[in-house]
Structure 1
Amino acid sequence: MSEDWKSDRIESARQGTNPTVIARMKSGFAVLGDMQFLPGWCILLPEHQTDSLNDLSMNERSDFLLDMSILGDAILSVCQPDRINYDILGNTDNYLHAHVYPRYTWEPPERKPLPVWLYEDHYWSDPETAFSLEHHGDMMNKLRSYISAHSPS
């Protein structure tokens, strides 16, 4: 499968060519993270590319942050992590997007107090945990069902 969709993740989600899309939400798209070393790591992409949360209207901000929390609820329900970490940075990918990271009791104790993005490089490139529909499709369907049942119209 071509990975051209990665060059513009938001537009490919809008066009239906981004295979990581879990669900369309009011503010944008819930997608599964490229690496799943923490099963259920998701990202909320906005409907249209924008630089930051502060560039949205108050209603759009409310929708985005509510969708982010609903995505966290879905991960809690489906993946049963110990907790959820929410992260909006935009330093590497210079557009608004929110990472929703599950954190697990089985993570190494030295990792638990640190942000996910400080995991060593090999976690971010291990083919064993890379996204694939074959390995992650069932989890995506469960997340999709939760989001569908709990998102406002």
Structure 2
Amino acid sequence: MGSLPVVNQPVEHRSGALLDHLARRVRVRSEAVLAPLGLRPRHLVALTVLRSRGDCTQQSLAATLEMDGTNVVGLLNELEAENLIERRRSPEDRRRHLVELTDAGAKQLEKAESALAAIEDEVLGALDESQRETLHTLLLQAARGGETSCPTDIDA
């Protein structure tokens, strides 16, 4: 029977519970401002990934979002019905679909981000600009630690 790893950081300095608390505060407020735009947080994440990475296959988008393929299809159906994304067959492999953000999707994403800026100001109001930039950099670094890319072609 192996031993558990020793955690050198005191319990009061662990960040998981704080991140969860802040995420809940942001999520509740975000849902309220996204609803009039016809968006939910999961829509926003998918649109943001597509904007930052460009076209990608449904399969690689599912991996990036850490979602089951069936759930990603449902999510993409919702976004496609609103003309926020477009799916087309991959020219390299007709069995695969490429997903891309439409101009309407980019505009809707900008509206959502503007609405969400006020929420971020409220939740992170105790931090000055420099601290917010540091927090953003650290969160981005942590998020990229386990991230997969969204290539347009899949390695066989």
Please tell me the TM-score bracket, short chain as reference: 0.3 to 0.5
The structure with more radius of gyration: 2
User: Which one has the bigger helix percentage?
Assistant: 2
**Structure ranking higher on relative contact order (CA contacts 8 Å, 6+ apart):** 2
Q: TM-score, normalised by structure 2?
A: 0.32
User: Which one has the bigger strand percentage?
Assistant: 1
Q: TM-score, normalised by structure 1?
A: 0.32
